Structure 1
Amino acid sequence: MEIKKWIFEAIPNADVIDELSSAINVNAVLCQILIQRGITHFDQAKDFFRPELDQLNDPFSMKDMDVAVKRIQTAIKNKEHILVYGDYDVDGTTSVAMMHSFLTSIHPKVSYYIPDRYAEGYGISTQGIDYAVEQNCSLIISLDCGIKAVDKIAYANQKKIDFIICDHHLPGEHLPEAIAVLDPKRKDCQYPFKELSGCGVGFKLIQAYCIQNDIAEHRAFEFLDLVSVSIAADIVPVTGENRILAFYGLEKINFNPRPGIKALLEVSGLKGKITISHLVFQLGPKINAAGRIDHAHLAVKLLAAINEDEATIIASQISDKNNRRKDFDQNITLQALNKIASDETLKLAKATVLFQEDWHKGVIGIVASRCIEHYHRPTIILTESNGLATGSARSVKGFDIHAAIESCAELLSQFGGHTHAAGLTLPIENITAFTEKFNTIVNSTITEEQLQAKVHIDAYVCLDQITERFYHILSQMDPFGPGNMQPVFAARNLELFETPRILKDQHLKIIVKDKNGKQNLHAIGFGLAHFKDQLETAESFELAFTIQENEYNGYKSLQLYLKDIRFE
Structure 2
Amino acid sequence: MVYNWKIREKADIENVVSLSSEINVNETLANMLVNRGINTFQKAKDYFRPDLDKLHDPYLMKDMDKAVDRLIHAIAAEEKILIYGDYDVDGTTSVALVYGYLSQFYQHLEFYIPDRYKEGYGISERGVRYAAEENFKLVISLDCGIKAIEKVKLAKELGVDFIICDHHTPGEELPPAVAILDPKRLDCNYPYKELSGCGVGFKLIQGYAMKTNKDASKVTAYLDLLAISIAADIVPITGENRILAFYGIERLNNNPRPGIKALMLKSNLVEKEIDISDIVFKIGPRINASGRLEHAKASVELLISKDLDDAMRRAEIVDTVNAARKNFDENITREALQMIEERDVVQQMKSTVLFKEDWHKGVIGIVASRCIEKYYRPTIILTESNNKATGSARSVYDFNIYEAISECSDLLEQFGGHKYAAGLTMSVANVAAFQEKFERVVSSRIQDVHLMPVLEVDDEILLDQINYKFYNILKQMAPFGPGNPEPIFYANQVYAEDVRILKEKHLRFNVVQNGQVTKPVCIAFGMADRTKYEDEIVYKMLKQKMRFDLAFEIRENTFRNNSSLQLYVKDIKFD
Give the TM-score category using the shorter length.
Answer: over 0.9
2:434 and 2:64 mapped to 1: Cα distance?
39
1:204 aligns with 2:203: yes
- Structure 1 equivalent of residue 555 of structure 2: 548
Which letter maps to 1:84?
A: I
* CA contact 1:7–1:454 (8 Å) conserved in 2: yes
- Structure 2 equivalent of residue 460 of structure 1: 460
Residues 177, 349 of structure 1: alpha-carbon distance in 2 compared, 3 angstrom cutoff: farther
SS at match of 2:278: helix
SS at match of 1:368: helix
* CA contact 2:391–2:425 (8 Å) conserved in 1: yes
Residues 292, 70 of structure 1: alpha-carbon distance in 2 compared, 3 angstrom cutoff: same
* CA contact 1:169–1:418 (8 Å) conserved in 2: no
CA apart distance, 1:403: 4.1
2:287 and 2:255 mapped to 1: Cα distance?
19
1:220 aligns with 2:219: yes
Segment drifting more, 118-127 vs 453-462: 118-127
After TM superposition, the structure 1 = structure 2 runs for residues 264-283 of structure 1, keeping only pairs within 5 Å, are 264-270=263-269, 271-283=271-283
CA apart distance, 1:47: 0.4
Number of residue pairs matched? 566
What's the C-alpha RMSD, in Å, of the aligned pairs? Answer: 2.1
* CA contact 1:7–1:455 (8 Å) conserved in 2: yes
Structure 2: gaps spanning 5 or more residues: 531-537
- Structure 2 equivalent of residue 141 of structure 1: 140
- Structure 2 equivalent of residue 249 of structure 1: 248
* CA contact 2:464–2:516 (8 Å) conserved in 1: no
1:562 aligns with 2:562: no
Q: Cα deviations across residues 157-182 of structure 1 (Å, max 9, x unaligned)? A: 33222222211122234322222222
- Structure 2 equivalent of residue 367 of structure 1: 367
* CA contact 1:538–1:567 (8 Å) conserved in 2: no
CA apart distance, 1:348: 2.8
1:482 and 1:288 mapped to 2: Cα distance?
20
1:494 aligns with 2:494: yes
1:538 and 1:358 mapped to 2: Cα distance?
50
- Structure 1 equivalent of residue 93 of structure 2: 94
Which letter maps to 2:292?
A: R
CA apart distance, 1:524: 2.1
Q: Cα deviations across residues 413-448 of structure 1 (Å, max 9, x unaligned)? A: 444444322333333334344444544443444443
CA apart distance, 1:217: 2.5
CA apart distance, 1:63: 2.1
Q: Cα deviations across residues 136-162 of structure 1 (Å, max 9, x unaligned)? A: 212211111122222322332332222
After TM superposition, the structure 1 = structure 2 runs for residues 158-197 of structure 1, keeping only pairs within 5 Å, are 158-197=157-196
SS at match of 1:528: coil
Which letter maps to 1:398?
A: D
- Structure 2 equivalent of residue 379 of structure 1: 379
Residues 206, 440 of structure 1: alpha-carbon distance in 2 compared, 3 angstrom cutoff: farther
Which letter maps to 1:370?
A: R
CA apart distance, 1:389: 2.5
* CA contact 1:289–1:322 (8 Å) conserved in 2: yes
- Structure 1 equivalent of residue 533 of structure 2: none
Residues 331, 74 of structure 1: alpha-carbon distance in 2 compared, 3 angstrom cutoff: same
* CA contact 1:170–1:417 (8 Å) conserved in 2: no
SS at match of 2:552: strand
- Structure 2 equivalent of residue 115 of structure 1: 114
SS at match of 1:548: strand
Q: Cα deviations across residues 90-120 of structure 1 (Å, max 9, x unaligned)? A: 1011001001112212321110111122222
Residues 474, 211 of structure 1: alpha-carbon distance in 2 compared, 3 angstrom cutoff: same
Which letter maps to 2:98?
A: M
Residues 269, 91 of structure 1: alpha-carbon distance in 2 compared, 3 angstrom cutoff: same
CA apart distance, 1:234: 0.6
SS at match of 1:265: helix
- Structure 1 equivalent of residue 83 of structure 2: 84
Residues 413, 203 of structure 1: alpha-carbon distance in 2 compared, 3 angstrom cutoff: farther
Residues 16, 537 of structure 1: alpha-carbon distance in 2 compared, 3 angstrom cutoff: same
2:343 and 2:189 mapped to 1: Cα distance?
49
Normalising by the residue count of structure 2, what TM-score does the alignment of the two structures yield? 0.93
- Structure 1 equivalent of residue 522 of structure 2: 523
Which letter maps to 2:460?
A: Y
Segment drifting more, 383-392 vs 225-234: 383-392
Segment drifting more, 293-302 vs 478-487: 293-302
CA apart distance, 1:235: 0.6
* CA contact 1:495–1:512 (8 Å) conserved in 2: yes
CA apart distance, 1:513: 2.5
1:11 aligns with 2:10: yes
Residues 146, 346 of structure 1: alpha-carbon distance in 2 compared, 3 angstrom cutoff: farther
1:127 aligns with 2:126: yes
Segment drifting more, 77-86 vs 400-409: 400-409
SS at match of 2:499: coil
CA apart distance, 1:408: 4.8
Normalising by the residue count of structure 1, what TM-score does the alignment of the two structures yield? 0.94
Which letter maps to 1:168?
A: H
2:437 and 2:147 mapped to 1: Cα distance?
23
SS at match of 1:520: coil
* CA contact 1:411–1:434 (8 Å) conserved in 2: yes
- Structure 1 equivalent of residue 354 of structure 2: 354
CA apart distance, 1:402: 3.5
1:83 and 1:446 mapped to 2: Cα distance?
46
1:175 and 1:440 mapped to 2: Cα distance?
36
2:398 and 2:194 mapped to 1: Cα distance?
17
1:259 aligns with 2:258: yes
1:155 aligns with 2:154: yes
CA apart distance, 1:55: 1.6
* Percentage identity across paired residues of the two chains: 53
2:565 and 2:458 mapped to 1: Cα distance?
19
